[in-house]
Amino acid sequence: MTWETVIGLEIHAQLATRSKIFSAASTAFGAEPNTQASAVDLGLPGVLPVVNREVVRMAVRFALATDASITRRSVFARKNYFYPDLPKGYQISQMAFPIVGEGSITITLPDGQEKLIGLTRAHLEEDAGKSVHDLFEGMTGIDLNRAGTPLLEIVSEPDMRSATEAVAYARYMHSLVRYIDICDGNMQEGSFRCDANVSVRQAGSDTLGTRTEIKNLNSFRFLERAIDFEVERQIDIIEDGGTVVQETRLYDADKDETRSMRSKEEANDYRYFPDPDLPPLVIDEAFIESVRATMPELPVARRARFIDELEIAAADAQALCADRQTADYFEAVFEGRQFAPKLAANWMLGELFARLNKEDMALADAPVSARLMGDLITRVDDGTLSGKLGKQVFDALWGGEQDVDAVIDARGLKQITDTGAIEAMIDEVIAANPSQLAEYRAGKEKLLSFFVGAVMKASKGKANPAQLNQILRDKLKA
Amino acid sequence: MSLTPDDIEKIAHLARLGIDKDALEPLAADLSTMLDLVEQLQAVDTEGVEPMAHPANATLLLRDDVVTETDQRETLQAPAPATQDGYFLVPRVIE
Amino acid sequence: MHDKTLAEQAALLASGELHSSDLVEHYLQRIEQHGEALNAFLAVDADGARRAAAAADEQRKAGNAGPLTGVPIAHKDIFCTTQMPTTCGSRMLQNFVSPYEATVVEKLRTAGLVTLGKANMDEFAMGSSNENSYYGPVANPWQQDRVPGGSSGGSAAIVAARLASAATGTDTGGSIRQPAAYCGITGIKPTYGRVSRYGMIAFASSLDQGGPMAQTAEDCALLLQAMAGHDSRDSTCSPLAVPDFSATLNAELKGLRIGVPQEYFAEGLDDDVARCVNEALAVLEAEGAILKPISLPNQGLCIPAYYVIAPAEASSNLSRFDGVRFGHRCENPQDIDDLYTRSRGEGFGPEVKRRILIGAYALSAGYYDAYYKKAQQVRQLVSDDFSNAFADVDVIAGPTTPTTAFARGAKSDDPVAMYLNDLFTVSANLSGLPALSAPCGFAEGLPVGLQLCAPANQEARLLNVAHRYQSVTDWHRQIPANFA
């Protein structure tokens, strides 16, 4: 029997605001326990929530980036349950009327195929605090700094059919939320968290199997491995004549397995109801337009423009649009310059990225600015530098030099393009190697490279290679 | 509509409310009377009536994204029954 | 001094004939003398009050005083204060001192009022008799075996016994108006959102509203002026400008259309109460108002809808009292669930427990539509009744309560009988409308209240009508014999 895997993802993206969703306390990561927990975050008697405008703007940005509907009158609701890191005994979330409705995105799979993934909804909610179990003997410590941090929970349709697709989707979302500046995407700090709903069914069936929800997937690798494990587990159960139990499971990276979280299963009756402290959130056209005006060009549109207008190869355009910083850097390299954007792409994806990879650095930390990159390519394009010399200049820039022309002058790297000078060097080399000349003229043509090398050496590598080749061939013939 | 002591126990657990065993019976009676009172609502035709969650037809005013709360841990934790090293303490929670 | 109204005292303070220090000392002495008999104060801050009074007098001398500078007030113990505990009438918050101050307290303090102490109340504002306070019942100053009403029973008794010039109260289903009626004072529940709820411990967030309780409508106008206004810390607080409530107090009533709901004068209404209210209506008619019979057809559904909505919101609002960050924690909790259930079981009294349970039940899976959603729909119908009525009339008038103050213990075994006290008051909360209760006579020595209700944001009209009424009557001038 063949099995089909059905996966939907719930992604919690922490919105990159300065203050919390309902209070004016800081959201900065890593502060001393409870130093960023205000009276509102602690749920002291009598306190009330007030919504952060930036959180609403970010949710609208997300909707605009995913072709999603924006709910003009969305409602905050209380999700009631007791847990020590949930200060009020309820989480303010959204239930019946989420701020973002249905949308969709197109992801590119590793084999280059594109796939449309539906988005069910995205809603705003507050994060809970943290429980610390290993600091105190027999006690759990509660740190509420994270309580009230804004989250956008992005729920996909069950449109993914393999762990690979799920990872491609998650990676796309991870890139998108950073692209539109709503989330820093830091998975170690929990800014971007995934839960996967996984089920299997007989291929060709159109009813869904019983699903399990896997929590705690804080890397793409864990997401992939957890789904693979879970799919195997479910198939084994069904093939052994059993039934899959709908439950929440936790991925244990050390053991590479998922296990049941029975403690969470106990009668979850969240008693959602509209939060009486918060009237409906009304979003008008003017608000949406003000957000739209600040939207960056989205990766899909940008890639298409790179291909169509800048004549960049599809694969290169994809690489350049992987994140917004890369694409911005790319455009800054050729902006206001004479050379073709394609040259900029070649230098970035070639020299620059190779170096970044080698040094295990991010583009943001590269010592060579887009302006210097543009200066360098300008000198290559106008013939001052050969490609090879250009790489030497690049090395100097990587080392901290800040002026391309100064590097060229100081190191005497300027390419020799004066025909007379090149002829003179060629004449000298030919005169010094009579036997090789004779052999060449007798038909041993591969000696050409010997002469090229010798002349290049004589020029200290600076002779224009094309000119050198042309003149040398002519002289050797004579 | 009448509630049994069992029902009361279940709801009490949902609300994490300790109820003495011998209080369950009278509570079930009280709550059943309360339910009888509200039962009148069932007879009302509310077809097409929008539920009213807030009295005023108010809409939400939004706050600027500015951090104005500074660290007041000492003051805010003063009423806490148990703290240590800046943490609130509770009995060990088993995950 | 204490036979003067707040407005009169304020005038004497302004003219220099009276000093805040003397006034405060006088009240402190009266509290010393009568406080125990009434059990109306949960805390008295004599030193703080003396300091504030001295500062007020200095301010007066320096010429920086406002209209209320130096006037002594008591706060219902539901408002968070930093200088005194805030118990909310509950064991859960015994000795709890709030790290921050409620907006109402802050505003009144800034306006120069001197806080004498905190007023007793039904636990978490749940009750109509003040018998639900963990700190004991409050006596009605008119007949001390009677209840003062609730939940702002302490506030009402304090004002009635002249132990402070005024008090703050809160009203979720009648908690300002019903005790005001039972104790023979004036109290107004403003339009929902007129007064900030920040720092006012929530019972039912969509119904709760704070307001002033004092001898007269004129006093209430002065106090409400200082309490009202937008607060950026409360998302439900109205951004509308606050009108000058005192400016229109004396406006003529000629041509004012007063609606009299037939449903209020039906079975269950005490004959003496009906007589007093009808006499009051006749006084208003003599002042030029036109009485019009009206109907509020869904009036009978108010109590059922209220007893779903209020407990549902309360069940959630009271979840934060879990023994973790503040409030009562049980001894030696074995695990987290034990900590929760025992702390809450010990910390909350029987009525609070009943309401948490019924509220949790109404919101629980499978019952939400039948109870909570249905109640919200009925709430809309009740609100529509008022919209329809106010198309034809300017003000609605009737009794505040069906009876006068009942004997302590008379209804404590029957929660539902107790709930019927709110029969005429909850509709204003469900609809968010302003409503006022003013004394309009006595039945067997106990005060009767006249309730006035107006469209949203028209507190000024209510205060105007009540003030005109009080200009030609003296019910509000009566002081209980034991406290003269």
Domains of chain A by residue range:
3-290, 324-410, 419-477
Q: How far apart are CA A268 and CA B14, in angstroms?
A: 9
Other beta carbons within 10 Å of C481 = 9
CB A45 within 8 A of CB A252: no
pLDDT at C61 over 80: yes
**Predicted local distance difference test score (pLDDT) of residue A262:** 65
Which residues 21-40 of B have a C-beta within 8 angstroms of C?
A: 27, 30-31, 33-40
- What residues contact residue A212 under an 8 Å CB cut-off, 6+ apart? A197, A198, A199, A230, A234, A244, A245, A246, A247, A248, A249, A258
pLDDT at C387 over 80: yes
CB C149 within 8 A of CB C178: yes
C366: confidence class by pLDDT, cuts 50, 70, 90: confident
Looking only at the bridges linking them, the beta strands covering A248-252 and A212-217 are parallel
Question: Catalytic: C175?
Answer: yes
* CB pair distance less than 8 Å for C344 and B16: yes
* CB pair distance less than 8 Å for B63 and A56: no
* CB pair distance less than 8 Å for B55 and C192: yes
**Predicted local distance difference test score (pLDDT) of residue A478:** 67
Looking only at the bridges linking them, the beta strands covering A273-274 and A76-80 are antiparallel
Among B52-56, C86-90, C115-119, C181-185, which stretch is predicted with the lowest mean pLDDT? Answer: B52-56
Burial of residue C472, with CB atoms counted within 10 A of its CB: 0-12 exposed, 13-18 middle, 19 or more buried: exposed
Other beta carbons within 10 Å of A286 = 8
| Tokens encoding C85 | 């505990």
CB C160 within 8 A of CB C184: yes
Q: How far apart are CA A3 and CA C12, in angstroms?
A: 89
Q: Which residues of B touch A (CB under 8 A)?
A: 13-14, 16, 53-54, 56, 58-69, 71-73, 76-77, 82, 84-95
Which residues 200-219 of A have a C-beta within 8 angstroms of B?
A: none
| Tokens encoding B22 | 């011998």
Residue C230 amino acid letter: H
Please name which of C239, C212, C213, C237 lies closest in space to residue C227, comparing C-alpha atoms: C212
**Predicted local distance difference test score (pLDDT) of residue C17:** 96
Please name which of A65, A56, A60, A66 lies closest in space to residue A150, comparing C-alpha atoms: A56
* CB pair distance less than 8 Å for A142 and B14: no
B14, B51, B61 ranked by CB distance to C380: nearest: B51
pLDDT at B13 over 60: yes
Per the listing, tokens 């039945």 go with: C443
> Where are the strands (E) in A204-360, listed by range?
212-217, 248-252, 257-260, 273-274, 281-282
In angstroms, what separates the C-alpha of B94 from chain C's closest C-alpha? Answer: 9
Q: How far apart are CA C227 and CA C212, in angstroms?
A: 8
A49, A87, A140 ranked by CB distance to C235: nearest: A49
Burial of residue C61, with CB atoms counted within 10 A of its CB: 0-12 exposed, 13-18 middle, 19 or more buried: exposed
Return the number of CB contacts < 8 Å for A and B. Answer: 126
Q: How far apart are CA C32 and CA C37, in angstroms?
A: 10
* CB pair distance less than 8 Å for A44 and C93: no
* CB pair distance less than 8 Å for C80 and A46: yes
Other beta carbons within 10 Å of B49 = 17
Average pLDDT over residues C346-356: 97
Per the listing, tokens 């050390």 go with: A254
In angstroms, what separates the C-alpha of A288 from chain C's closest C-alpha? Answer: 21
Per the listing, tokens 């994806």 go with: A349
Per the listing, tokens 């003179």 go with: A424
Percent of chain C with pLDDT over 90: 96
- Examine residue C133 and say whether the peptide bond preceding it is cis (omega within 30 degrees of 0): no
pTM: 0.91
Residue A457 sits at the chain B interface (C-beta within 8 Å): no
A43, A140, A279 ranked by CB distance to C235: nearest: A279
CB C44 within 8 A of CB C162: no
Q: How far apart are CA A277 and CA C196, in angstroms?
A: 12
- The DSSP code sequence of C116-144 is EEEE--SGGG--SSSTT-TT-PPPBTTBT
Looking only at the bridges linking them, the beta strands covering C166-171 and C72-76 are parallel
Residue B48 sits at the chain C interface (C-beta within 8 Å): no
Instruction: State in words which class domain A419-477 has.
Output: mainly alpha
| Tokens encoding B57 | 């037809």
Looking only at the bridges linking them, the beta strands covering C257-261 and C290-294 are parallel
Radius of gyration, CA atoms only, chain A: 30
pLDDT at B57 over 80: no
A167: which DSSP letter? H
**Predicted local distance difference test score (pLDDT) of residue A383:** 81
Dihedral sign from CA coordinates of A210, A213, A217, A220: positive
A194: which DSSP letter? E
Per the listing, tokens 């030029």 go with: C288
CB A139 within 8 A of CB A176: no
| Tokens encoding B74 | 């000492």
Dihedral sign from CA coordinates of C88, C94, C100, C106: positive
B54, B66, B88 ranked by CB distance to A142: nearest: B88
Q: How far apart are CA A444 and CA A427, in angstroms?
A: 19
Per the listing, tokens 């402190």 go with: C28
Q: Which chains touch C (3 or more CB pairs under 8 A)?
A: A, B
Could you tell me which chain B residue has the CA closest to the CA of C193?
B56
Among A317-331, C225-239, C251-265, C347-361, which stretch is predicted with the lowest mean pLDDT? Answer: A317-331
| Tokens encoding C260 | 């009299």
* CB pair distance less than 8 Å for B92 and A138: yes
Catalytic residue among C20, C152, C175, C437: C175
Count of H-run helices and E-run strands, chain C:
15, 11
Question: Catalytic: C374?
Answer: no
Q: How far apart are CA A324 and CA A297, in angstroms?
A: 9
Among A449-453, C210-214, C288-292, C326-330, which stretch is predicted with the lowest mean pLDDT? Answer: A449-453
Other beta carbons within 10 Å of A263 = 10
Write the pLDDT tens digit of every residue in C400-451: 999 999 999 998 888 888 888 899 999 999 999 999 999 999 999 999 999 9
CB C45 within 8 A of CB C53: no
Q: Which residues of C touch A (CB under 8 A)?
A: 79-80, 86, 88, 93, 96, 98-100, 102, 197-202, 204-206, 232-236, 312-313, 315-316, 318-322, 324-327, 336, 340, 360, 363-365, 368, 372
CB A129 within 8 A of CB A146: yes
Q: How far apart are CA C166 and CA C155, in angstroms?
A: 8
Instruction: State in words which class domain C6-250 has.
Output: alpha beta
| Tokens encoding A89 | 């005994």
Other beta carbons within 10 Å of A111 = 6
- Kindly report each contact of residues A329-333 with a partner whose C-beta sits within 8 Å and lies 24 or more positions away, as own/partner: A329/A363, A329/A370, A330/A306, A330/A370, A332/A370, A332/A371, A332/A374, A333/A370, A333/A373, A333/A374, A333/A377
Q: How far apart are CA A462 and CA A456, in angstroms?
A: 7
CB C300 within 8 A of CB C322: no
Please name which of B84, C175, C180, C5 lies closest in space to residue A33, comparing C-alpha atoms: B84
Tens digit of pLDDT per residue, chain A (478 long)? 789 999 999 999 999 999 999 999 999 999 999 999 999 999 999 999 999 999 999 999 999 999 999 999 999 999 999 999 999 999 999 999 999 999 999 998 988 899 999 999 999 999 999 999 999 999 999 999 999 999 999 999 999 999 999 999 999 999 999 999 999 999 989 999 999 999 999 988 889 899 999 987 889 999 999 999 999 999 999 999 999 999 899 998 888 888 888 655 455 799 999 999 999 999 999 999 999 999 999 988 999 999 999 999 988 998 898 888 899 999 999 999 999 999 999 999 999 999 999 999 999 899 999 999 999 999 999 888 888 889 999 999 999 999 999 988 888 778 888 888 888 889 888 888 888 888 888 888 888 889 888 888 888 888 888 888 889 888 888 6
CB C211 within 8 A of CB C202: no
| Tokens encoding A442 | 């007798």
* CB pair distance less than 8 Å for B65 and A133: no
Please name which of C222, C270, C274, C226 lies closest in space to residue C246, comparing C-alpha atoms: C222
Question: Catalytic: C76?
Answer: yes
Which strand (E) or helix (H) includes residue B84? strand B83-84
Phi-psi region of A137 (alpha: psi -120 to 50; beta: other; left: phi over 0): beta
Other beta carbons within 10 Å of C150 = 32
In angstroms, what separates the C-alpha of A96 from chain C's closest C-alpha? Answer: 13
CB C272 within 8 A of CB C240: no
- Looking at the DSSP bridge assignments, the partners of residue C74 are C117, C167
Residue A311 amino acid letter: E
* CB pair distance less than 8 Å for A45 and C201: yes
Per the listing, tokens 């830091």 go with: A186
Looking only at the bridges linking them, the beta strands covering A150-156 and A192-202 are unpaired
Other beta carbons within 10 Å of C44 = 20
Cβ-based contacts of B71 with chain A (< 8 Å): 32, 35-36
Cβ-based contacts of B61 with chain A (< 8 Å): 50
> Where are the strands (E) in C314-353, listed by range?
none
